[in-house]
Every structure is written in structure tokens, then in C-alpha cells.
Structure 1
Amino acid sequence: MMAVAGCCLLTANALSAEPFPAKPIRLVVPFGAGGITDNIARLVGQEWSGALGQTVLIENRPGAGGLIAAQAAAKAAPDGYTVFMGTVGTQIVNPLIYPAGKLPYSPDSQFTPLGMVSKSPFMLAVAASVPARDLNEFLAYARSHPDRLDYGSAGSASAPHMSMELFKLLSGTKINHVPYKSGAEAVNAAIGGHVAAVIDAVPVVMPQVKAGKLRALAIANGTRSSAAPTVPTSQEAGLPSFETSSWNALYVPAGTPPAVVDRLATTLRTTLARPGLRSRLAAQGSEALAGTQQEYAATMAAEKKKWAAVVEAAKIKAE
């Protein structure tokens, strides 16, 4: 009996000492396949697989502004084999727009951050029918037509919706919101002249600008985008405080062993520093962010402050 018990103990110890990772890792993405968040997850996941020595499997769980995916990831086993790609919506906006106690997960207490992944600065563009050649002309036009212009977004409380409300707050303009089911639908609405303006990540908007169907006014960032080098930044265009983007960060469920967290975070930073991956991200208008935990914390604090002001001013609530 003692020999059997000793054998079992040795087996358990051997299993507990098994190097991590010993099997594929699931990367949960809160949006469907083909979107910018999914594209970034697949680019990073492919490179990260090599650094980890295991396959990173993408699992798309769209719906409810990222709530479905976030809730599932938060409740997953804290063993390092489930990683969640959080966004400004899942980590910052949802807690601001849901009544206290109604959000079925907690970004702060149920997740441990591995680090930032990337950001994709937003581009503001207008329909070809809008008589504005640059941002200053659009501001003058919007101010002279209060509540008479519309803009399209990827849906209520989406990053484009929040971003345009930030634009309105900073510029003192009154432009009406028209929500659509996706960023692509909002862009098509602007192309068709159903809305005057649209804002979204560069990869979503730039193809239609190149085709001459939309007119780009500014990149909402401090530096120009390599994917749209001729489009001025918001600072160059005359609205320096207007900076907004779609960003991603990776998380594991709270309670994941520190050694596992360290392994994942270290290999993530190594992966994001690779020139090949950074070039592929830049080609689609995204920037790799291989920051430290301190930089992550500073980014989150600034994002919470910025978007809390927007939610309050625009009276945005979960629908």
C-alpha cells in the first residue's frame, strides 16, 4: 500500500513540475473573424506560438460588446491555458456604462494583465458630398450646422461611437449618432451619403479613402500612420488633444500562478519586439506595444479618466 502511495506521490509531483505550456493555449477574442481585433490576434498568436513552443488557438466569441467573451474568459480555469484579448470596450467602457453590480465580470478583479499588445489609431473621414477639405473646414461646417449632421459608428458604446463623442466634446460640435452593426456598415453608410462622417481604425477606413469614396481629415494620433502617410495627425490638423485608438491587451484569469504569468508575459514582450511582426502590424495601420506592467497601469489610468468624462458628457448607457 505504501509503495503504491509513494508511486502516486511521485507521479503527482512529476505532473506538477511539468514545464509550461504542455498543450495548446486558447486565445479568446471578443469579436468575429475578419475584424481588426481578430486579425491582430492571429498575427500575434502565430508568432507567440513559436516563442511558447505550443500552438495558440484563436477562439472568436462575439456579441454584447465583448461581454460574452470576457465573462467566459474570466470564469476559465486559472492555469494559463486560456488567454483573453481585452479591448477598450471590455476593460474600460463596459464598467462605465453598466449599472453597479450588473456587469457579469470584473476587469480589475477577475483578470491578471500580461501586457499591452497593439494600438490602431482611428481615422476621421467624411463623405465625398461634405464640403470640407480638411479638419478645420469640417469643424466650421459642423458648427454652422448644429444637430443637422450625422455620423456612423460600429454600434452604441463601440470604440468608434466613444471616439466620435470625444471629438464632439473636444471640438464643441453637435453631430448626431447613427449606430450600425459593424464598422464596415458605418463606412458604407458614409460612402452612400447617409451619414456625413465616420471614424474607425485605419484598416477599416483607408481602403475607401484610397478608392476616392471617402475623404480623410485626420489620424487621431500624435504621429502619422505608415499605412496612411499623407493624412495629417489631429495635432497637425488643429485639434491636438484628440487622440483615440482601438487597443488590445492580453489577460489571464485571476489566480493564474505567478510563474505561468511571467512565462506568458515575457514571451509576449519578446514576440512583440520582433521586427517582422512589427512591420506586419504597421502595414495595416497598427503599432506594437511591448510595454512594461508600469506602462500598462499608466495607460489604464489615463483611459479610465478619458472615457469616464465622455460617458458622462454623452450620457452613454448599456443597451
Structure 2
Amino acid sequence: MLRHRTRGLLAGLCLLVAWAFAGGVSPLQAQDDFPTRPIKLVVPFGAGGITDVVARLVAQGLSDRLGQPVVVVNRPGAGGATAAQSVATAAPDGYTLLLGTVGTQVVNKMIYPRLSYDPASFVPISLVSNSPYIIAVSPALDVNSLKALVERAKAEPGKLNFGSAGNGSSPHLALELLELLTGTKIEHIPFKSGGDAVNGALSGQIQIVCDAIPVVMPHQASGRLKALAITDTKRSAAFPDLPTTAEQGVEGMVVSSWNALLAPAGTPDSRVTVLRDALAQVLADPTLLARFQELGIEPMPIGNQAYARHIAAETERWSKVVEAAHISIQ
């Protein structure tokens, strides 16, 4: 009798395991208790830029909700490709994530002929945030408006320079778009991060810089940078006296830094869901939203469908700029 019962139990267990692997729940999902250790959030630029600012705000919120530290790791280089490659080849277990940008997810595949990773291979957790840019100049450059800057650039083609967070970064795209819209030629100086580019403008190493409100505003207040325009369709509540690019005669100059949370290909759906739900709670938190508003940062829609629509629109938009500007990094 005991032998028959044991055989019955074993047979039932085998059926359960077979059902799980056939599409029910995997053993990992059935016994998962994610996360049980710290999570690494890789940022494709150095400290001090807007992507780093967003990463640290979101990481703290995720840590509070997941019950495990979310550690920000800065890995600058190659327009974000260094960081993206490191996450693409990481274990697909939800413990290594990328805070993607327009560079890592859209532009790098257009400008690098031998990209070391496939932007489409990541599992999207969700879009995170969007931050309009400010065009600012060193006080040593005797211009006080975007219109005056454009006139100066036209009078002295190739003599002005512009620092960015690296090839393929949003500020780099802003420069290329500005040149196309105004018929100017400005030398591009790539740095490892937006913070490094801003420091270059503060030290007089470069003349023009483009970064988000929380990065530029303190230096505008101290007089070490002159903010000329915001690259958005409307003025920002965080900087209401700063006119838009369109208000100064440059129509279509809309550029921002957006971020998305991504995981390596093959990350279990159950863990992606945990991370997405936690991020949704973070982006709905009144305290974080107030901080975002203060810094001129906007939360973006949650979910992989919103991410897919955004990537499609950004790909169409920036492919035209890359082609028209003949941007290619060998």
C-alpha cells in the first residue's frame, strides 16, 4: 500500500514539474523571493549629469520599496556603449540593470558601425523620466541670448566650441540639431559626462554647454554660466524666466534627456514585474514628484508598450538628424 502511494506521489510531482516547464510556472518563479541581495543600477555617464541625478533619486526609491540596496554604478565611455555592453552580458537575474538613454537605445546603433551590443535585446522595464535641456555659455563668451549666439556662430564658422556628454548623447544631438536649424558650424568637444562638460565650461575649456536644469541652474545663479534658452516647447516652472528656443527664433529645437530602466535579455518575467511595480510606486510618490518638479524633471509612462512607442518615435526622429548631419563614429 505504501509503495503504491509513494509511486502516486512521485507521478504527481513529475506531472507538476512537466506542467511548470511547459508554460505554467518555472521552478524559479514558483520559489522566487526576489530580491534577496543588492541590485546594481549602471549609469552610462559619469557623476554629476542629469542621468546620474535621476539614477540616484530613483535608486533610493527602489531601495525603500524592494528592501534591498540599489547601488548606482557609473560606467562612462563610448557614448554609453561601455555601460550598455556590461549590462547586456550580465547574468539575466534582475540584479544588474541599465538606466538607458537616447544614446544607448537609439542613436548608438546609427553612428557606431560595429556596436558591441544590440539595443533591442534588452528587456524594457519602463520609461522613467524626461528632462528638457538648457543651452548655456561661459560668461567669457560675450553673448546674452540664443539669437546672439547664432549670429556669432554664423559670423565665425567653426571658431566656437560646444561640450557634450559624449558622442551620441542628447547634448551632442542638440548641437547637431542646432547647426542644421541655423546653418551654423560649431566644433564639438565630447566629454565622459554632462558634469564633465559643464566643468569644462566653468573652467573656460569650452564655450557652450547643454544640460538639464538641475545641472545648469546652480551655476547660473552663481554667475559662472549664462543660461540662454530651454530646449522645449514651453517654459519650465523650475526656471520660468528662461525663454524657449522657439521664442528666440529657432523653431523645432526640442531636445531632452530621457531615461529608461532596462534588464538583460532573458530576465524572468516575474522579476521584471517586481521591478516595474516598484518603479511605478516610486514614480507615483508625492515626495519624489515634488523633487522632480523642483528640478524640472518629468516622470514618464510606465510599461513596455509606452517604451516601445517612444523608441519608435525617437528612432524616426533622430535617424533624420544623424543622416542629415552625416554623423558617424569610427
Range of TM-score over shorter length: 0.7 to 0.9
The two structures, once aligned, show a CA RMSD in angstroms of 2.9
1:316 is aligned, of 297, 305, 327, to 327
Output the CA distance in 2 between the equivalents of 1:178 and 1:234: 22
Give the TM-score taking structure 1 as reference length. 0.86
Show the counterpart of 2:285. Answer: 274
1:59 is aligned, of 68, 73, 77, to 73
Please show how residues 245-256 of structure 1 align to structure 2 within 5 Å.
245-256=256-267
**CA deviation after TM superposition for structure 1 residue 129, in Å:** 4.2
Output the CA distance in 2 between the equivalents of 1:13 and 1:291: 28
Q: In the alignment, is residue 29 of structure 1 matched against residue 40 of structure 2?
A: no
* Counterpart amino acid of residue 170 in structure 1: L
User: Structure 1 residues 79, 189: closer, same or farther in 2, change over 3 A?
Assistant: closer
Please show how residues 1-319 of structure 1 align to structure 2 within 5 Å.
16-99=30-113, 102-108=114-120, 110-191=121-202, 195-319=206-330
Q: Which secondary structure does the structure 1 equivalent of 2:119 belong to? A: coil
Paired-residue identity, %:
49
Q: Which secondary structure does the structure 2 equivalent of 1:210 belong to? A: helix
Give the TM-score taking structure 2 as reference length. 0.83
* Counterpart amino acid of residue 106 in structure 1: D
Output the CA distance in 1 between the equivalents of 2:96 and 2:183: 43
Q: Which secondary structure does the structure 2 equivalent of 1:318 belong to? A: coil
**CA deviation after TM superposition for structure 1 residue 96, in Å:** 1.0
Q: Structure 2, unaligned stretches of length 5 or more?
A: 1-5, 17-25
8 Å contact from structure 1 (residues 273, 290) kept in 2: no
* Counterpart amino acid of residue 156 in structure 2: H
* Counterpart amino acid of residue 285 in structure 1: G
Deviation readout 1:271-313 (Å, 9 max, x if unpaired): 1111111222333332222334333222211211222222223
* Counterpart amino acid of residue 117 in structure 1: V
Q: Which secondary structure does the structure 1 equivalent of 2:211 belong to? A: strand
8 Å contact from structure 1 (residues 67, 90) kept in 2: yes
Q: Which secondary structure does the structure 1 equivalent of 2:90 belong to? A: coil
User: Structure 1 residues 162, 50: closer, same or farther in 2, change over 3 A?
Assistant: same
Larger radius of gyration: 2
Q: Which secondary structure does the structure 2 equivalent of 1:20 belong to? A: coil
Deviation readout 1:103-138 (Å, 9 max, x if unpaired): 121010x20111111122111122334443322333
Q: Structure 1, unaligned stretches of length 5 or more?
A: none
Q: Which secondary structure does the structure 2 equivalent of 1:295 belong to? A: helix
**CA deviation after TM superposition for structure 1 residue 244, in Å:** 0.8
* Counterpart amino acid of residue 33 in structure 2: P
**CA deviation after TM superposition for structure 1 residue 154, in Å:** 3.2
**CA deviation after TM superposition for structure 1 residue 13, in Å:** 5.4
Deviation readout 1:13-58 (Å, 9 max, x if unpaired): 5984233333332222223344432232121111112222333232
Q: Which secondary structure does the structure 2 equivalent of 1:139 belong to? A: helix
Q: Which secondary structure does the structure 2 equivalent of 1:249 belong to? A: strand
